[in-house]
Amino acid sequence: MARAASTVEAGDSAERILQILSESARLFATNGYDGTSMRDIAEACGISKSLLYHHFTDKDEIFARIALGSTRELYQFVFDRLPEGATPTERLRAFMVATGEYFQRYRWAWLASTSAFWSDPEQRRQKERMMWRDRYEGLVRTLIQQAIDAGEFRPLDVPLAGRLVLSALNWMHRWYKPDKGMPAPQIADAYFDMIFRGLRAE
């Protein structure tokens, strides 16, 4: 019976931490790091400050968890959705659509992480985020190179093409409105057609 109670408590704790991270990401993205206090986070979660401090030492720990976790989880989320046995072009499309899906699902964490990427004074965290960012960027370059090697794309500057893809995807947060227009994965799919199939009529 004690073990069952312990399992419930662990589940409740995990859900509470997820709630804190989600609400914090929204507040950081909306008000900025300096404009968000531990009191703001506690009130948004409907919990006491003492319970908030039970889970996190301070605001910096919450912010670091969001910023680093978002960068790492983006890579894993996209990588896990690349179809096995598909052509390089199909896998590249899946890369872009999965990025759009991640952005739509975890928009507040994306926004908070984007604002934090270059401003975190902690060098160790900065290096770790850069490592995951480089893996993500390396993945799109690998897919483009594989498409060239397979004869699906003409020879082109792979790093430049990779930056074009990532710039289109990363810029969405500046104008995307969840309640207007196409869903983010559909936008990413449209970007794929525009970038790799061109704008000219057949």
CA torsion angle for 175, 181, 185, 187 (degrees, to 10)?
Answer: -70
Q: What is the share, in percent, of the chain residues with pLDDT greater than 70?
A: 88
pTM over 0.85: no
Topology, domain 1-56? Arc Repressor Mutant, subunit A (1.10.10)
Q: Residue 174: pLDDT above 50?
A: yes
pLDDT in tens, 176-197: 888 888 999 999 999 999 999 8
Q: Can you tell me the distance from the alpha carbon of 24 to that of 31, in angstroms, rounded to the nearest whole number?
A: 10
The predicted pLDDT at position 151 comes to 96
Distances (CA, A) of 20 to 42, 60, 65, 180, 197: 8, 13, 11, 27, 42
- Packing angle of the helix pair 123-149, 88-105 (nearest 10 deg): 150
Q: Can you tell me the distance from the alpha carbon of 100 to that of 22, in angstroms, rounded to the nearest whole number?
A: 18
Q: CATH classification of 64-197 is 1.10.357.10, yes or no?
A: yes
SS3 state of residue 33: coil
Q: Can you tell me the distance from the alpha carbon of 101 to that of 188, in angstroms, rounded to the nearest whole number?
A: 9
- What is the DSSP-derived secondary structure letter of residue 82? S
Q: Can you tell me the distance from the alpha carbon of 202 to that of 197, in angstroms, rounded to the nearest whole number?
A: 10
The predicted pLDDT at position 115 comes to 67
Q: Residue 128: pLDDT above 90?
A: no
pLDDT in tens, 75-101: 999 999 999 999 999 999 999 999 999
Q: Do domains 1-56 and 64-197 have the same CATH topology?
A: no
Structural domain spans, the chain: 1-56, 64-197
CA geometry: angle at 66 spanning 182 and 78, to 5°? 50
**Could you tell me the two tokens for 148?**
């060239």
The pLDDT mean for the chain works out to: 85
- What is the DSSP-derived secondary structure letter of residue 80? T
